[in-house]
């Protein structure tokens, strides 16, 4: 009976994955209609980043690679050298948005003694998803070197939407993790927020006109396939020195909520320390990060507590 229920659930999810609207999180908010929601979110991002840059010590456009977008901004440059560092990767289906609109986590984190690095990266169709993943690895390597020179207490890496997927791509590249084992000791946590972890359905979305996913990329970068039994983690490594805090809002797309739950189940196979947060009170795909500006939201409180108190 239980097996039949699982099979029925998978078939239902496969049917839902065929509908592009299920992959547009703005369709599911309880606050505003899709167009108004997106306009308000863009205005919010512009305003909070502008205010952040006018009030918090920072350095903008620090290059970590050779391309124009391979740059990061670092905030809280007047904090002690050994302050913890939180790296944030923006979303936008790997094809839009910018670090220049992503300062929402900065004021609250800096107020609690945490430096924030906001990452930029090249966008599709100018590059492939594989290229972006490589850029994020290079960025993390550069920040680790910086943190080591400053004797920073720790580094945490977070991302929103497609940025959550990019953050988690590091966790699944076991060869890279093995080759960088000694320097990765400073990386203590990953924070994927409202992420997308199954790439196959993206093939049927309009965004794929820009992303142009290949079959190899779908295989490499799908972390939570609908058919969970098809692709279990083939990995003898048990990760015990890193915590994953996986978050999604209850009013995100039901597909995104389900993928987050499915990904949490997969992570349990090889990561020892996992916390899954389904945020209630009508939290959607956008205000889940908007609320990082204050310490009122549960996610903010948990992140700040963990980054500051990591052992």
Question: Chain centroid to CA 16: how far?
Answer: 23
39 within a domain of the structure (yes/no): yes
**Torsion, CA 59, CA 80, CA 117, CA 301, rounded to 10:** -140
Mean of the per-residue pLDDT values of the chain: 90
Q: Which of 105, 111, 49 is nearest to 76 (CA)?
A: 111
Q: Which range of residues forms the domain containing residue 247?
A: 34-309
The mean-pLDDT minimum among 100-114, 144-158, 190-204, 221-235 falls in 221-235
12 within a domain of the structure (yes/no): no
Catalytic-residue membership of 165: no
Catalytic-residue membership of 100: no
CATH classification at residue 123: 3.40.50.1820
What is the count of structural domains for the chain? Answer: 1
DSSP alpha helices (H): ranges in 160-282? 162-169, 174-179, 208-211, 215-221, 254-267
pLDDT at 248: 98
The pairing of beta strand 239-249 with beta strand 187-193? parallel
Return all residues near 103 (Cβ < 8 A) that are at least 6 apart. 45, 48, 49, 52, 53, 73, 75, 118
E strand segments, 194-311: 239-249, 271-279
177 within a domain of the structure (yes/no): yes
Query: Which one of the listed residues 198, 252, 284, 287 is annotated catalytic?
Result: 252
Position 3 confidence tier, pLDDT thresholds 50, 70, 90: very low
Instruction: For residue range 136-190, list pLDDT tens digits in order.
Output: 999 999 999 999 999 999 999 999 999 999 999 999 998 888 887 767 889 999 9
Catalytic-residue membership of 54: no
Instruction: For residue range 48-103, list pLDDT tens digits in order.
Output: 999 999 999 999 999 999 999 999 999 999 999 999 999 999 999 999 999 999 99
pLDDT at 183: 74
Angle at the Cα of 257 from the Cα atoms of 251 and 259, rounded to 5 degrees: 160
3-state secondary structure of 112: coil
Against a cut of 0.85, is the pTM above it?
A: yes
Query: Which one of the listed residues 73, 285, 287, 300 is annotated catalytic?
Result: 285
6 within a domain of the structure (yes/no): no
Query: Which one of the listed residues 161, 169, 253, 260 is annotated catalytic?
Result: 161
18 within a domain of the structure (yes/no): no
């Amino acid at each position: 009976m239980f097996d039949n229920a699982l099979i029925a659930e998978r078939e239902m999810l496969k049917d839902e994955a065929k509908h592009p609207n299920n992959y547009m999180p703005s369709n599911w908010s309880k606050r505003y209609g899709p167009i108004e929601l997106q306009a308000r979110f863009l205005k919010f991002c512009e305003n909070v980043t502008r205010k952040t840059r006018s009030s918090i010590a920072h350095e903008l456009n620090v290059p970590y690679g050779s391309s124009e977008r391979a740059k990061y901004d670092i905030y809280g440059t007047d904090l002690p050298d050994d302050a913890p560092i939180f790296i944030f990767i923006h979303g936008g289906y790997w094809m839009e948005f910018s670090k220049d609109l992503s300062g929402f986590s900065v004021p609250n984190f800096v107020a609690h003694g945490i430096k924030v690095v906001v990452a930029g990266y090249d966008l599709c169709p100018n590059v492939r998803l594989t290229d972006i993943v490589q850029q994020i690895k290079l960025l993390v390597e550069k920040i680790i070197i910086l943190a080591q020179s400053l004797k920073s207490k720790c580094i945490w890496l977070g991302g929103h939407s497609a940025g959550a997927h990019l953050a988690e791509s590091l966790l699944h590249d076991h060869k890279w993790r093995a080759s960088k084992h000694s320097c990765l000791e400073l990386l203590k946590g990953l924070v994927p927020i409202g992420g997308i972890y199954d790439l196959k359905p993206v093939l049927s979305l309009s965004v794929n006109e820009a992303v142009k996913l290949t079959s190899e990329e779908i295989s490499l970068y799908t972390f939570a396939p609908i058919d969970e039994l098809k692709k279990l983690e083939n990995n003898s490594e048990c990760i015990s020195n890193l915590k994953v805090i996986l978050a999604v809002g209850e009013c995100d797309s039901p597909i995104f909520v389900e993928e987050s739950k499915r990904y949490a189940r997969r992570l349990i196979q090889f990561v020892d320390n996992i916390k899954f947060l389904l945020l209630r009170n009508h939290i959607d795909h956008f205000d889940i990060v908007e609320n990082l500006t204050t310490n009122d939201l549960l996610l903010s409180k948990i992140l700040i507590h963990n980054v500051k108190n990591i052992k």
